[in-house]
Amino acid sequence: AAIAAWAAAGGWFHGSLVHHDAPPSATAPFTVNVNSAGVMELSQLPGLGPATAQRIVDHRREHGPFASLDALLDVPGIGPRTLEDLRPHLRPIRSREAER
């Protein structure tokens, strides 16, 4: 009991405690390659759920790699606003990649 009281009074601690109540203000950038990402990875993007992510993968399988990010507009469920919201999270498409 004496040890518990000593520890509670700060016997083992020297200095102040660091509190981590708030999450960090900045998050690490998260970008994906739309020509290689799977459904699980795509569905992590803001504004995309599993159904739209699956449509992206299905479109890519049926038509081949996306030649540009603008080609995502051909996927049902992705309009201009969604695409603009996604752009910061999508890696640019290299011409070599679109030729596969």
Q: How many domains does the chain have?
A: 1
Task: Answer whether residue 23 is part of any domain.
Answer: no
Beta bridge partners of 90: 32
- Is the pLDDT assigned to residue 30 strictly greater than 70? yes
Q: What is the pLDDT of residues 11-22, one digit of tens each?
A: 555 555 555 565
Q: What is the pLDDT of residues 34-92, one digit of tens each?
A: 999 999 999 999 889 999 999 999 999 999 999 999 999 999 999 999 999 999 999 98
Q: Please state the length of the chain.
A: 100
CATH code, 52:
1.10.150.320
Whole-angstrom Cα Rg for the chain: 23
Residue 97 pLDDT level (bands cut at 50, 70, 90) = low
Q: Please give the residue range of the domain that contains residue 57.
A: 39-98
* Cβ atoms 27, 12 nearer than 8 A: no
Task: Answer whether residue 46 is part of any domain.
Answer: yes
